[in-house]
Amino acid sequence: MIDIERRRALKAGGILAAFAAAGLLPAGRARAAWNKAAFEGKTVQEALASIGASTTAASDDVQIIASDIAENGAVVPVQVVSRVPGTTQIVLFVEKNPNVLAGIFDIGPDVAADVTTRIKMMQTSNVAAVVKADGRFLASVKEIKVTLGGCGG
């Protein structure tokens, strides 16, 4: 009996996958926005321009929580907390990576502006968190030392 149910489920899933591949099913409501230019930026200024930030102001209300020393650059835990009212976006940069933009996080109106992620770091570098709130861009910077190879090898 269980085998028959499993076969039905697999068959139905296969049919849905075929329809989706053929473009016969409507696309989902949620789609990830991909800012290709920002992720291809080689400098922080290029990446900032791609997200619409011409300037940033330092702010104590943007906090980067991370160890001063990362033992393994391939996996560096980083948390960014914004206490800026109206935060709609948090952006992470690693200054000395080949591609400086590490991540863009959109923050909904009823969501706490608190992001935790893991980034790759090629070498010891400044990590910058830029917060977008009410059309302003506020930033915080922290140097993280890398002791073991990261995204460069």
Domain carrying residue 25: 1-30
Q: Which residue has the tokens 């160890």?
A: 67
Helix, strand, coil percentages in the chain from 3-state DSSP, rounded to 5:
20, 35, 45
pLDDT band (50, 70, 90) for residue 43: confident
Report the candidate in 55, 76, 60, 51 with the shortest Cα–Cα distance to residue 126.
76
**Two tokens at 27?**
């696309």
Same structural domain for residues 11 and 42? Answer: no
pLDDT band (50, 70, 90) for residue 55: confident
Report the candidate in 56, 69, 50 with the shortest Cα–Cα distance to residue 128.
56
What would the mean pLDDT of 117-143 be, rounded to a whole number? 94
Q: Would you say the pTM of this structure is higher than 0.75? A: no
Same structural domain for residues 59 and 131? Answer: yes
Same structural domain for residues 24 and 83? Answer: no
* Residue 153 in domain: no
Computed over every residue of the chain, the mean pLDDT equals 82
Total of domains in the chain: 2
Q: What is the phi-psi region of residue 145: left when phi exceeds 0, alpha when psi lies from -120 to 50, beta otherwise?
A: beta
Residues 91/104, Cβ–Cβ less than 8 Å: yes
Q: Is 41 exposed, middle or buried (0-12, 13-18, 19+ CB in 10 A)?
A: buried
